[in-house]
Amino acid sequence: MPRSYRVAILGATGAVGTELLSLLDQRRFPVAHLKLLASPRSVGQQLIFQGEALTVEALDEQAFENIDLVLASAGGSISKAWAPKAVEAGAVVIDNSSAFRMDVQVPLVVPEVNPKDVIPHQGIIANPNCTTILMTVAIHPLHQVQPIQRIVAATYQSASGAGARAMEEVKAQALAILQGQEPKTEIFPYPLAFNLFPHNTKLNGLGYCEEEMKMVNETRKIFGLPDLRVTATCVRVPVLRAHSEAINLEFAQPFSATLARDLLSKAPGVKLVEDWQANYFPMPIDASGKDDVLVGRIRQDISNPNGLELWLSGDQIRKGAALNAVQIAELLDTQDLIHPTQRTTVAAR
């Protein structure tokens, strides 16, 4: 008899939460019952799932009773406080925050890259940072053929990375500027419309921000290479949705751009986008709403005979967050790593 699960979405009304809701339906994940959880200001709102209006509920001590799977996208402090409670109640948690990513006991998983890492989970599986997901999906097929020695990444990150309110802020700023008014800032420290600035997370003593160190540390963990040389510069750009990245890879020997192009044209989760005559390569506007990471402009690094460069765009909300989480859930399902009790026979929500 096919398994089905009682699922909770934590942070259901946010940009990633609503995308999770949509993807569970689109990908026909076996949901027997769905519970929507969010902050007090969202309690009572209604969201549609498979034609049925579901009411958003409060997060409390009873929230995870009879729940098999929690998809969490409510921020690190919420996850730290509530994910262990969900596990204690018998659920598996797939967490989209940074709370558990570097915990040695918690798998950090990109299904196209390290699917086997879900197997030893102890109740919590971490979803990597959006920029890390997009990059590792694109470069892992190359790494499998010839190990990568060094990664230099520059990111061009959209407002969506800071959530739905940040996207609305950029729209309002653009309108204000076009009307000759002073743009107002609330989510970001500076106006993002018609502007850009280095990523606004906290800097460490070496001058790297938290977002950059996420790419460094998470890539090492996902690849299982704690000494992999990685550096990153992360930048906020005035794009509503979908991030882009310029990636420079160094190998021990030359890596043919032709071979890289062939490998990426066949890689899962990747779509090759290249029209050299038209100078047409991946763009955020084309990646928005798409599952695949768009990759192109693959070329030799003229400064390094062992270097290879590529450009990518990917939907931060979708593959960079919600889709990756649902794909992890699908992995858990196919490998029988969610263990619902007899309550899975319940059919109604």
71 and 11 in a common domain = yes
Tell whether 123 and 140 lie within a shared domain: no
Please report, rounded to a whole number, the percentage of residues in the chain having pLDDT higher than 90: 93
Q: Are residues 298 and 341 in the same domain?
A: no
CA atoms of 92 and 125, how far apart (whole Å) = 8
Looking at residue 339, its pLDDT comes to 78
Same domain, 138 and 271: yes
141 and 116, same structural domain? no
Give pTM, 2 decimals: 0.94
Burial readout 264-290 (b: 16 or more C-beta within 10 A, e: otherwise): beebebbbbbbeeeeeebbbbebbbeb
CA angle (256, 259, 265) in 5-degree steps: 140
Do 30 and 152 reside in the same domain of the chain? no
228, two tokens: 């992999």
**What does 73-130 look like in DSSP terms, one character per residue?**
-S-HHHHHHHHHHHHHTT-EEEE-SSSSTT-TTS-B--TTT-GGGGTT-SSEEEPPPH
Q: Does 233 score more than 60 pLDDT?
A: yes
Residue 150: which CATH number?
A: 3.30.360.10
10 Å CB burial of residue 180 (0-12, 13-18, 19+) is exposed
Q: How much is the pLDDT for 120?
A: 86
> Above 90 in pLDDT, residue 88?
yes
Chain segment 194-210, per-residue pLDDT in tens = 999 999 999 999 999 99
pLDDT of residue 349: 43
* CB-count burial class (<10 Å; 0-12, 13-18, 19+) for 250: middle
Tokens of 255: 């890596």
Cα distance between residue 247 and residue 258, in whole Å: 17
Q: Is the pLDDT at 342 greater than 60, yes or no? A: no
Same domain, 56 and 138: no
| pLDDT band with cut points at 50, 70 and 90 for residue 341 | low
pLDDT in tens, 318-340: 999 999 999 999 999 999 999 76
CB distance 49 to 348 below 8 Å: no
Catalytic residues: 130, 243
pLDDT at position 106, please? 97
Same domain, 114 and 20: yes
The pLDDT of residue 348 is above 50: no
Q: Which two tokens stand for residue 327?
A: 């794909």
Rounded to the nearest 5 percent, the helix, strand and coil shares of the chain are: 35, 25, 40
Same domain membership, residue 246 and residue 327: no
What is residue 179's DSSP assignment? T
CATH code for the domain of 75: 3.40.50.720
User: CA–CA distance from 38 to each of 23, 130, 263, 319 (Å)?
Assistant: 18, 22, 42, 22
State how far the Cα of 82 lies from the Cα of 23, in Å rounded to an integer: 23
Q: What is the mean pLDDT of residues 83-102?
A: 97
Residue 277 to residue 205: CA distance in whole angstroms: 45
Cα–Cα distances in angstroms (integers) from residue 87 to residues 58, 146, 262, 322, in the given order: 18, 39, 43, 20
User: Mean pLDDT throughout 234-246?
Assistant: 97
pLDDT higher than 50, residue 347: no
- C-beta of residue 9 within 8 angstroms of C-beta of residue 34: yes
* pLDDT attached to residue 241: 96
For residue range 124-174, what is the model confidence (pLDDT) as tens digits?
A: 999 999 999 999 999 999 999 999 999 999 999 999 999 889 999 999 999
Q: What are residue 309's phi and psi, to 5 degrees? A: -120, 150
Do 91 and 151 have their domain in common?
no
Tokens 């990150």, located at residue: 157
Query: Domains in the chain: how many in total?
Result: 2
Contacts of 143 (CB under 8 A, 6+ apart): 223
**235 and 182 inside one domain:** yes
Beta strands in 237-282, from DSSP E residues, in sequence order? 243-251, 270-272
Domain that holds residue 175: 132-316
Residue that is written with structure tokens 């996420």 in the block: 214
Q: Rounded to 5 degrees, what angle do the CA atoms 339, 343, 345 make?
A: 105
| pLDDT, average across residues 51-75 | 95
The DSSP 8-state label assigned to residue 338 in this structure reads -
Average pLDDT of every residue of the chain: 95
Indicate the range of 2-6, 137-141, 229-233 predicted with least confidence: 2-6
Domain match, 69 and 183 both: no
